[in-house]
Amino acid sequence: MAQLSDDCFAFGGALLPVDEALAELRARLAPVAGIERVPLHGVVGRILAEDLIAGVDLPPFANSAVDGYALRHADLSHDVDTILSVGGRVPAGGALGRQVQPGETIRIFTGAPMPEGADTVMMQEDAEPLPDGRVRLRPGLKRGANAREAGEDVRAGAVALAAGRLLRPQDVGMAAALGYDALAVRTRLRVALFSTGDELASPGAVLPALKVYDSNRFTLHAALTRLGCTVTDLGILPDHPAAVASALTEAAPAHDLLLTSGGVSTGEEDHVKAAVEAAGSLFFWRLAIKPGRPVALGQVRGTVFAGLPGNPVAVVVTFVHIVRPLALLLGGGTAPPLLRFPVRAALRYRKKAGRREYVRASLVRGEDGAIEARSFPREGAGLLSSLVETDGLVELDEATTTVMPGDAVAFLPFSELL
Ligand code: AMP
Ligand code: MG
């Protein structure tokens, strides 16, 4: 992998705005994932490694967009019906094999090649077959109507899919339409995942006294898997710097990203800081974001380390803004800006200027039918129900200080984030 310099994540600012954090990640990180060829059925959710260039025009030949009659536009009257003879028939996959003559139409079906000489197709709903075998055609059709040109979708030589995209089902379809049966994709980013905390227990056994089940590891495993990563679940680390340091050191050589949650505040029971400082180098990015306390970034033996806070809601928010772009960029992907949807606030909120805040919210229909964001009734950063029972996050930017019912706010659906 590209070796990280010791001070790769050094940042001098007091509070780092989220957009600056993203710009820093883009500037500092290069892909570490390799490249492999994968059959088309296996590429969804993977990162495209190279621009996919169209080797052919799409569609490859001019064809009809409807079932109807192919004709020369010059043969149609502008203002009255035209009656033409039907001189042939072309189904999809067939061919007429000759020029269309003046004064004739050709019965044609969707996807069939346009006969040479024809430039327009009258859809069958606008044509009336007559008892003598001819067809009556309505006036007013534009030249070129219902005919698809060769290359109108994608031109041969054009970039059909840009490198770095996380492949969606429709992208896979595009590759197939261009004749590819396999694609060059990035190898899966190898992520080592840990939880930290003496109070944590793994699900699946009776809960011991004074323990809580570890949920972050499962949230993060699921979210990273959706980004195309291979995640090694390395369990729960005790609140003990030496144990954390040796676990990270051991995991570093075989992984591209080391990820922990918990233990990164600056309290005396937050041992991840000391552990990473002992095993590698560590920086805190104090993000101007709520919820989401400082995020620890650094390296252990040249492998990127990210330490998230422990509270489940802070985990989700810092995953979205730091880990997601981190994993995409290391994995050879682009990290496109998240889509924000304007919705009407059905909530009242006050905040400090200078930091971005996220309010967990459900989308509901207002009385006038417009979509409104209603905030979860309780605020705690530890409430998993606030993530499960809502649809996403209302984003209140750095400049906002008050939100009143009826204001337009930006909404980030969880489907865009996780
Ligand atoms: P910490 O950041 O370690 O101070 O943890 C903050 C809060 O998050 C505490 O209430 C922890 O018990 C809780 N927490 C930390 N890690 C996890 C985890 N993996 N799953 C669920 N809760 C956690
Ligand atoms: Mg802890």
pLDDT at residue 292, rounded to an integer? 81
CA angle 252, 217, 360 (to 5 degrees): 125
Distance in Å, CA 193 to ligand 2 centroid? 15
Distance in Å, CA 384 to ligand 1 centroid? 12
Q: Per-residue pLDDT averaged across 234-261, rounded?
A: 97
| CB 216 near ligand 1, within 6 Å | yes
| Average pLDDT of the chain, as a whole number | 95
Distance in Å, CA 311 to ligand 1 centroid? 5
DSSP 189-220: PEEEEEEE-TTEE-TTSPPPTT-EE--HHHHH
Q: pLDDT of 99-124, one tens digit each? A: 999 999 999 999 999 999 999 999 99
Percent of the chain at pLDDT above 90?
91
pLDDT at residue 5, rounded to an integer? 78
Q: Per-residue pLDDT averaged across 245-270, rounded?
A: 94
H/E stretch holding 330 reads helix 324-330
**C-alpha span between 327 and 20 (Å, rounded):** 17
Q: 3-state DSSP call for residue 259? A: strand
| CB 219 near ligand 1, within 6 Å | no
> Encoding tokens for residue 317?
């928010």
The answer to whether residue 418 scores a pLDDT higher than 60 is yes
Distance in Å, CA 326 to ligand 1 centroid? 22
Contact 46, 167 (CB under 8 A): yes
Q: 3-state DSSP call for residue 324? A: helix
pLDDT at residue 268, rounded to an integer? 87
Contact 385, 359 (CB under 8 A): no
Nearest residue (CA) to ligand 1, atom 12: 199
Distance in Å, CA 418 to ligand 1 centroid? 20
| CB 382 near ligand 1, within 6 Å | yes
Atom of ligand 1 nearest to the CA of 214: 20
Considering every ligand atom shown, identify the ligand nearest to the alpha carbon of residue 262 and give its number: 1
Domains of the chain: 18-34+187-330 (3.40.980.10), 63-148 (2.170.190.11), 341-417 (2.40.340.10)
Q: Per-residue pLDDT averaged across 381-395, rounded?
A: 97
User: Would you say how long the chain is, in residues?
Assistant: 418
| CB 203 near ligand 1, within 6 Å | no
**C-alpha span between 376 and 308 (Å, rounded):** 23
Distance in Å, CA 388 to ligand 1 centroid? 18
The answer to whether residue 401 scores a pLDDT higher than 70 is yes
The residues, any chain, with a CB within 8 Å of residue 180's CB and separated by 6 or more, are 40, 52
Q: Per-residue pLDDT averaged across 86-98, rounded?
A: 97
pLDDT at residue 54, rounded to an integer? 98
| CB 312 near ligand 1, within 6 Å | yes
Contact 40, 175 (CB under 8 A): yes
pLDDT at residue 1, rounded to an integer? 43
Contact 124, 68 (CB under 8 A): yes
| CB 212 near ligand 1, within 6 Å | yes
| CB 200 near ligand 1, within 6 Å | yes
Q: pLDDT of 313-356, one tens digit each? A: 999 999 999 999 999 999 999 999 999 999 999 999 999 999 99
| CB 199 near ligand 1, within 6 Å | yes
Mutate to test the pocket of ligand 1, among 259, 261, 317 (most ligand atoms within 8 A of CB): 261
Distance in Å, CA 333 to ligand 1 centroid? 30
pLDDT at residue 10, rounded to an integer? 83
Q: Per-residue pLDDT averaged across 175-201, rounded?
A: 98
Nearest residue (CA) to ligand 1, atom 6: 310
**C-alpha span between 19 and 289 (Å, rounded):** 11
The answer to whether residue 40 scores a pLDDT higher than 60 is yes
73-82, 99-108, 113-122, 264-273, range with the lowest pLDDT: 264-273
pLDDT at residue 3, rounded to an integer? 56
Ion ligand 2: residues, CB within 5 A, are 197, 262-263, 310
Contact 356, 288 (CB under 8 A): yes
Q: pLDDT of 123-152, one tens digit each? A: 999 999 999 999 999 999 999 999 999 999
| CB 280 near ligand 1, within 6 Å | no
Atom of ligand 1 nearest to the CA of 263: 3
Measure CA 237 to chain center: 32
Assign 3-class secondary structure to 113-167. Answer: ECCCCCCEEEEHHHEEECCCCCEEECCCCCCCCCEECCCCCECCCCEEECCCCEC
